[in-house]
Amino acid sequence: MKLEQNDKSMLFSSTEIPDVFFTEYLSQANGDYVKVYLYLLFLSKYDKDIKINDLSKKLALPLKTIQEAFKFWEECGVLIKKTTGYILTNIQETELLKLYSPKLSSSPEDITKSEKNKYRVKAIENINNQFFQGIMSPSWYNDIDLWFKKYDFDEQVMLALFNYCYDRSALHRNYIQVVADSWHKNNIKSFSDLDAYYQKQEKISSVKKQIIKKLGLNRNLTTYEDAYVEKWTLDFKYNLDVIEIALKRTTSKTNISFDYLDRLISDWHDRNLKTPAEIQEFLSSQKKKDKDIKKLEKTTNYNNTTQRNYDNLDNLFAN
């Protein structure tokens, strides 16, 4: 879709001056230099060609003053000299780039910081074009810069953050802040950190779904049950094949207790049992031990109801 504006008479047209001109440039330039800038800004709207001599006459300024004005605005980055003439830059964009452009310094720290800022400028430009159609409001620039400093994300992570929120139709500051806080708490700084985090979350999600299915639950896990699963998979580093051994031991129980499951699995971890084979071997030995004790009781006709004293955790496996 193309939008066109009706041509306006010179009487009704206007020349806009960015506010940043008054805050950053006005105090540095003398009156003649300001006069030159304003007239150049006016001419740039109409793509007019003008010679320096004509400009001198039009503004009633000495040729030397015009030349000095051009040099001043070049040094400020407002004018860029080309073989065919000059380009009047967008001073708002110029000021934005100054936030990230390298400062002249021989310090290795400053050089490293400057190179980093170049990538940040590119990342912000990509965010603007990809998620805001190139018209991102200035306040977003400050927010993104703050998030870079606060969370120490690299550029790929910052892009991924906006993409994550955009895909969920939640591209607003509060939601972005919540996600960024979560990633920061999980020690995410680089894209490799983020990739590892995603893999970890996918693993947890898969295990949770399998537990719900195998237990025949018609609901999602509670927050506390989620915490148990994360403990087993992340802290203990157990896969589903280990957790499933514990799940099978709940088949004779009417009320499934995650506390019971956690006691089982935590005991295996405390015993440094890592594989399904090690756990099955341990359970077999516990079962044999229990049978031997019952056989001994029967042979000696010894009542063990009140005097028998075993490790409570051992009794967990006597199913």
Condensed to tens digits (0 to 9), the pLDDT of residues 271-313 reads 999 999 999 999 999 888 877 677 776 776 555 545 555 455 5
Position 95 pLDDT exceeds 80: no
Average of pLDDT values for 9-14?
A: 75
Cβ atoms of 78 and 86 closer than 8 Å:
no
Which residues on neighbouring strands pair with residue 81, listed in sequence order?
86
Alpha helix segments (H runs only) across the chain = 19-20, 31-44, 52-59, 63-75, 91-98, 108-131, 138-151, 155-167, 173-185, 191-215, 223-230, 240-248, 258-270, 276-300, 312-315
Percent of the chain's residues with pLDDT above 90: 44
**With a threshold of 0.85, does the pTM exceed it?**
no
Position 18 pLDDT exceeds 80: yes
Report angle CA 172, 173, 179 to the nearest 5 degrees.
95
Tell me, what's the pLDDT at 267?
A: 94
Between 114 and 67, the more confident residue is 67
Phi first, then psi: what are they for 26, rounded to 5°?
-60, -40
pLDDT band at 28 (very low <50, low <70, confident <90, very high): confident
Position 111 pLDDT exceeds 50: no
Tell me, what's the pLDDT at 121?
A: 86
Query: Would you tell me which CATH number, out of the four given (1.10.760.10, 3.50.50.60, 1.10.10.10, 3.30.565.10), belongs to the domain 19-96?
Result: 1.10.10.10
Question: What is d(CA 130, CA 136) in angstroms, rounded to the nearest whole number?
Answer: 10
Position 188 pLDDT exceeds 70: yes
Position 317 pLDDT exceeds 80: no
Residue bearing tokens 């719900």:
212
DSSP letter for each residue of 37-96: HHHHHHHHTTT----HHHHHHHHT--HHHHHHHHHHHHHTTSEEEETTEEEE--HHHHHH
Condensed to tens digits (0 to 9), the pLDDT of residues 36-77 reads 999 988 888 877 777 888 889 989 999 999 999 999 999 888
Question: What is d(CA 137, CA 128) in angstroms, rounded to the nearest whole number?
Answer: 9
Question: Which CATH number is 104-189 given?
Answer: 1.10.10
The residue ranges of every structural domain in the chain are 19-96, 104-189, 194-315
Intrachain domains 19-96 and 104-189 with the same fold: yes
Condensed to tens digits (0 to 9), the pLDDT of residues 143-156 reads 898 899 899 999 99
Position 237 pLDDT exceeds 50: yes
pLDDT band at 106 (very low <50, low <70, confident <90, very high): very low
Residue bearing tokens 């994360």:
230
The type of residue at 144 is I
Question: What is d(CA 79, CA 283) in angstroms, rounded to the nearest whole number?
Answer: 81
Average of pLDDT values for 121-127?
A: 90
